[in-house]
Amino acid sequence: MGWKAAEKLIRHWKVLRGDNVMIIRGKDKGDTGIIKRVIRSQNRVIVEGKNLVKKHIKQGQGHEGGIFTVEAPLHASNVQVVDPVTGRACKVGVRYLEDGTKVRVSRGIGASGSIIPRPEILKIRTTPRPTVAGPKDTPMNVALEKTYDAKTGKGMAEL
Does any domain span residue 133? Answer: no
Q: Say which CATH number the domain at 97 has.
A: 2.30.30.30
Going from the first residue of the chain to its last (159 residues), give the mean pLDDT of each consecutive group of 10, the final group possibly shorter: 74 93 95 95 95 94 92 96 94 95 92 91 79 70 73 68
Residue 143 lies in a domain: no
- Other CB atoms within a 10 A radius of the CB of residue 34 amount to 15
Number of domains in the chain: 1
| Full residue range of the structural domain in which residue 121 is found | 3-128
Task: Please report the pLDDT score of residue 5 as a whole number.
Answer: 67
Q: Say what the pLDDT of residue 138 is.
A: 75
- Looking at residue 6, what is its pLDDT? 67
Amino acid identity, residue 135? P
Asked if 8 and 42 touch (Cβ cutoff 8 Å), the reply is no
Residue 139 lies in a domain: no
pLDDT of residue 128: 76
pTM equals 0.72
